[in-house]
Structures are given as C-alpha cells and as structure tokens.
C-alpha cells in the first residue's frame, strides 16, 4: 500500500513540508509506504488544452507530470500540499494538478485523496476546497480529519508550534491508512462499484 505526497511549495523545508512530514511519519507508522515528490520550484507549465492526451498517452510536455502519473497509477492514495497564495493554492501546484488529472487516462476510482494547506493567516479553506475538487470529480474518496487539513505559519518553526495543525495531520494520516485498508479489503471481496461513463453532456447543439 502506497501513498504519493506532493509538495507544491517552492520551500522544500518550509511550512507545507513540515505538515506533510507529519503525515508521512504517521503513514509510515501505519505501515503505508510513501513517496514525496517536490513539485514547487519546478517550472511547471499550465495545460494548453491541445488535446494531445486525448489521442496519446500522457501530456505533450514530457516532464514531472508524466513521471508522477505513472507513480500515481500504482498508488493507493494521493496527498497534495500547497501554501496559500492570495487565498488560493499556489500557481505551480494548480498547473501541475490540472495536467496530472487531465492527461492521465487511468482510473482513479477509489484511490483516496487528501489536500493539505498552509497559510500565514487566511485563505486556507478556499484553497483546501479547490484542491479537493480534483478528487471529487475522479471517484476518489476524500479523507478527512479532526479539522480542515491546514497548518498556520510563515516559517517551519511556526508550524511546529501549531500543535492542533500537526494533530490534524496525524489524524488525517491514520484515517487515510484505515480507508486504504478498508477499500483494499472490500475490493478483494466484491470489486469496485460500477461507474457509468456513457453520457458527456455539453449541449453542442446550443439548446
């Protein structure tokens, strides 16, 4: 059982990383393998809606997105962490997530997802909501905790003092491990629930 963890912050040892480290440590205690992928700081171009991925495998930009997609396909869960920039997730992680989810053709059904956000002061829940939407359009159960998955700080030292924030991360990781095990057991017993894909309603006739 494996969880991929994305750090959207360009600060490899900053606030978001501190929160994610707590998630990773607890997941490992629960016997779940983890892999951290540093996304922040990379030059991640946005989706240009070229349609390449609709006829080919993966994104036309063959970069960290395609590398991560292969790992995501093999994983049971995904944690995405982002600092809050102007009350939204940061631009790098948004470009990355748009392309990762849009260009990867494999089913994400019943892989579990969790978003983690870090803010100095405000915009956490708006950012959290944005990140969760990648999961809820993909048949991915969203893992919750004892608060919305957020920490507060301007530096890693601040986050270490956010004891409730770190507690939220540990509870999140335990819930994630539990859900992965529960889904795995049910998958072995009864398979995945049916998913219909026959309709794609976009009103091409303008009515």
Other C-beta atoms closer than 10 Å to the C-beta of 158 total 17
How many whole angstroms from its chain centre is CA 200?
25
| Contact call for residue 39 and ligand FMN (CB under 6 A) | no
| Contact call for residue 27 and ligand FMN (CB under 6 A) | no
**List 113, 123, 141, 165, residue binding ligand FMN (CB under 6 A):** 123
| Contact call for residue 77 and ligand FMN (CB under 6 A) | no
Nearest partner of 151 among 7, 11, 20, 12, judged by Cα: 20
| Contact call for residue 86 and ligand FMN (CB under 6 A) | yes
Q: Shortest gap between Cβ of 169 and ligand FMN (angstroms)?
A: 13
Of 29-37, 64-72, 83-91, 184-192: span binding ligand FMN (CB under 6 A)? 83-91
| Contact call for residue 173 and ligand FMN (CB under 6 A) | no
CB nearer to ligand FMN: give 14 or 113: 14
Of 22-30, 121-129, 167-175, 187-195: span binding ligand FMN (CB under 6 A)? 121-129
| Contact call for residue 16 and ligand FMN (CB under 6 A) | yes
CB nearer to ligand FMN: give 5 or 15: 15
3-state SS track over the chain: CEEEEEECCCCCCCHHHHHHHHHHHHHHHCCCEEEEEECCCCCCCCCCCCCHHHHCCCCCCCCHHHHHHHHHHHCCEEEEEEEEECCEECHHHHHHHHHHHHHCCCCCCCCEEEEEEEECCCCHHHHHHHHHHHHHCCCCCECCCCCCCEEECCCHHHHHHCHHHHHHHHHHHHHHHHHHHHHHHHHHHHCCCCCCCCCCCCCCCCC
| Contact call for residue 11 and ligand FMN (CB under 6 A) | yes
Q: Shortest gap between Cβ of 94 and ligand FMN (angstroms)?
A: 13
| Contact call for residue 189 and ligand FMN (CB under 6 A) | no
Contact residues: ligand FMN, CB under 6 A? 9, 11, 14-17, 83-87, 118-123, 153-154
């Amino acid at each position: 059982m494996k969880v991929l963890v994305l750090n959207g912050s360009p600060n490899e040892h900053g606030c978001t990383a501190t929160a994610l480290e707590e998630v990773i440590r607890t997941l490992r205690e629960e016997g779940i393998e983890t892999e951290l992928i540093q996304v922040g700081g990379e030059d991640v171009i946005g989706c240009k809606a070229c349609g390449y991925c609709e006829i080919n495998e993966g994104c036309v930009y063959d970069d960290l997105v395609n590398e991560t997609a292969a790992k995501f396909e093999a994983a049971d869960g995904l944690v995405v962490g982002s600092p809050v920039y102007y009350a939204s997730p940061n631009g790098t992680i948004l470009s990355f997530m748009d392309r990762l989810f849009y260009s990867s053709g494999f089913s994400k059904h019943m892989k579990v997802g969790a978003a983690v956000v870090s803010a100095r002061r405000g915009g956490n829940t708006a950012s959290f909501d944005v990140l969760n939407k990648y999961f809820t359009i993909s048949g991915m159960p969203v893992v919750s905790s004892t608060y919305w998955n957020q920490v507060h700080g301007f530096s890693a030292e601040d986050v270490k003092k956010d004891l409730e924030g770190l507690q939220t991360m540990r509870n999140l990781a335990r819930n994630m491990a539990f859900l992965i095990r529960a889904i795995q057991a049910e998958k072995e017993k009864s398979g995945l629930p049916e998913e219909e894909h026959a309709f794609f309603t976009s009103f091409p006739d303008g009515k």
